[in-house]
Amino acid sequence: MKLLYDFFDYASITGYDENHTEYSIRLNAKHSIYQDHFPGNPVTPGVCIIQIVKELVSENRNRRLVLKKIAKVRYFKSINPVEYPVIFVSLTVADTDEGDCNVVATVFSGDVTFTQLSMALGRMG
Amino acid sequence: MNDDEMNDINVRELLPQQGKFVMIDWLRHIDETSVVSSMTVDKDNIFVDDDIFSESGIIENIAQTAAARMGYIGKYIDKKGVRIGVIGEIKNLVIERCPHIGEELTTSVEITAEIFSTLMIQAKVNIDNELIAHGSMKIALIDS
């Protein structure tokens, strides 16, 4: 599954330093996923938020990464793509000596925090 | 209902997710504290990329296994409609490897606590005897 340029797209990228980047992304409310999740009630699937963060880190580090471990992901509020067509992802990435990336991310819009993620991504295979 | 009779259940009637977002094929077992589902990875599955079923697909499979149990209780025991369940929290979830097309996932979910509309679960995903993912999750039922 690849969601970038299909389910979501970049609106802007702000790099604070090598390890801290803030993205604003635009959700595609017309995507077929929203017709099935759920019929008549579009909600961004929690797993797609994890996937979006994985793809943003992969782009950020310019290599394909896989999810190895979730320390914790907390969903505070669901994201309706019509109500929130543009959302923000604040990303902090720490590279380990083994070539993994430890990622802390917050998905938000203004004062509203949707999701907080803390997870480890690693190389493919 | 015994395990053989579970083969007659259409999981789509137990889940609010529809169409291509249904991420389990069958229920294999349900009891007071657990539920087991199975799913074979199809090449047309929306979570498949380069013949590999993604980590997010595995997590969705776990969540829907728990949701199907809620749907089963809603339909057959409480005789009410299917409510929408969303993931509230994921904790200490490890992905050992991602499945390939054609492999069958057997997902076992233990209910560790059920508080009002929130379910705490512990999940194991196996391919044959190989444990490919495990972790815990909190699922919340919401009124749509």
d(CA B29, CA B85): 20
Q: What is the mean pLDDT of chain B?
A: 93
Amino acid in the structure at residue A35 = Q
Chain B residues whose CB is inside 8 A of the A37 CB are 17-18, 21
Domain annotation covers residue A3:
no
Identify the CATH number of the domain in which residue A101 sits: 3.10.129.10
Nearest CA in chain A to B19: A36
Structural domain boundaries, residue A44: 8-123
Q: What is the ipTM of this complex?
A: 0.95
Q: How close, in Å, is residue B18 to chain A by CA atoms?
A: 5
All residues at 6 or more sequence positions from A85 whose CB lies less than 8 Å from its CB, including other chains: A26, A27, A29
In A28-85, beta strands by DSSP E: 65-75
d(CA B82, CA B103): 29
- The residue whose two tokens read 């992802």 is A89
Instruction: Please tell me whether the overall predicted TM-score, pTM, comes out greater than 0.90 for this model.
Output: yes
* Total domains in the fold of chain B: 1
Chain A residues whose CB is inside 8 A of the B88 CB are 74-75
Domain annotation covers residue A1:
no
Amino acid in the structure at residue A108 = F
Q: Chains A, B: CB contacts under 8 A, how many?
A: 90
Domain annotation covers residue A12:
yes
Domain annotation covers residue A41:
yes
- pLDDT (tens digit per residue) in B71-90: 998 888 888 888 888 899 99
Domain annotation covers residue A13:
yes
Identify the CATH number of the domain in which residue B123 sits: 3.10.129.10
Nearest to A50 among B49, B59, B89 (CB): B59
Which of A2, A6, A47, A124 to mutate: most B Cβ within 10 Å? A47
* Among B132, B4, B51, B130, CA closest to A67: B132
* Total domains in the fold of chain A: 1
Neighbours of B32 (CB within 10 A): 5
- pLDDT (tens digit per residue) in A35-77: 999 889 999 999 999 999 999 999 999 998 999 999 999 999 9
In the predicted structure, residue B144 carries a pLDDT above the cut 70: no
Structural domain boundaries, residue B112: 5-142
Nearest to A72 among B16, B91, B94 (CB): B91
Neighbours of B84 (CB within 10 A): 19
Amino acid in the structure at residue A88 = F
